[in-house]
A and B are shown apart, each in its own frame.
Chain A
Amino acid sequence: MAAELRFQAIIDLVGEKLREVFQTGDIGIIWLDDTAHVAKRLYAYEHGDRLPVLDVPYRPSGRSCRSCARTGGRHQ
C-alpha cells in the first residue's frame, strides 16, 4: 500500500510538471499493465479539475470494454 502511494506521488509530481510545461488544464497519464491487460488512468485533469484514478481492462482479443470505462471495471 505504501509502495503504491509512493509511486502515485511520483506520478502526481510528474503530472504537475507536465501541466506546467504544456501550460494546459487538460492532461492525463495512462499506465499500461501488459500482464493484467489493464490500462490505468493514474493522473488526469480536465478543465483544470482532477479526475479520479480509474482502471480499464482491455481484452487481448477484442476491443476494450466501454462499460468498464464507464463503471470502473464493474459490469452491471
Chain B
Amino acid sequence: MAAELKFQAIIDLSARSCARCSTPKTWASAGSITRRPAEDPVRYRAREATAVIEMELAAVATGRAVRRAGVARDRALAQRRRVRSLGDRHRAGHRHEPVGLATPIFVSDRLLGFLSLENHERDKAFATPMSACSQPSNEHGVALDNARLFDETQRLLKEPSSATPSWRSSTASSRAWPRS
C-alpha cells in the first residue's frame, strides 16, 4: 500500500499534464517498487508481478480515459488552436500523448526514490529500453545515497551538542585520572 502511495506522489510531483499544452500524461512504473524478502521468494514474485500488472493496467486505463476525453470535438479544436504557436512537438494536428515512466531507485532493498523519464512524442519509443533504465538508476542511487550519508555525518559533526555521543560524557567523568 505504501509503495502505491509513493508512486502516486511521484505522479503528483512529476505533473499530470504537459507544461506546454496541458495534455494529460499517462504514467507507468518501469519496475516493481517492492523488494523481494529473502525468506519467501515465490510469494514475493507473485506479489511483484501483481503489483506491476496493476500499475500497467492503471496506466492503460488512464490512457484510455484520456483518449476518450480527448475525442470531445470542441476540446480538441480548442487545444489545436492553443498549440498552433508552439514548437514542433506541439504543432497543430499533431496528436500529443505524453507518457511518463517511473523507474524505482533501490539501494540494498530500500526504495530511495524514482527516476522519472518522459516521452512527449507519440510515434517515437523511449530511446532506452525500459529494462535498461533500472540498472543505471540503481547505480546512481548508490552515489546519491552515499552523498546523503556524507552530508548527514558532516552536519552531525558540526553540531557539537547532538553529535557528541552519550558514552563520551559519561565515560569522561568515570575515566578521570585519580588524584594522587
Contacts and interface: CB of A to CB of B under 8 A. Distances in A.
Given A14-B144, A21-B136, A27 B117 contact: yes
Contact of B8 (A4, A7, A58): A58
Interface residues on B, range: 35 or more
State the majority secondary structure of interface residues on A: mixed
B2 A60 contact: yes
A14 B140 contact: yes
Contacts of B8: 58, 63-64
Interface string A18-41: 100111101111111000000111
Interface of A: 3-4, 6-7, 10-11, 14, 17-18, 21-24, 26-32, 39-41, 44, 46-47, 49, 51, 54, 56-60, 62-66, 68-69
Interface of B: 2, 5-6, 8-10, 12-15, 18-20, 87, 89, 102, 111-120, 127-128, 133, 136-137, 140, 143-144, 147-148, 151-152, 154-155
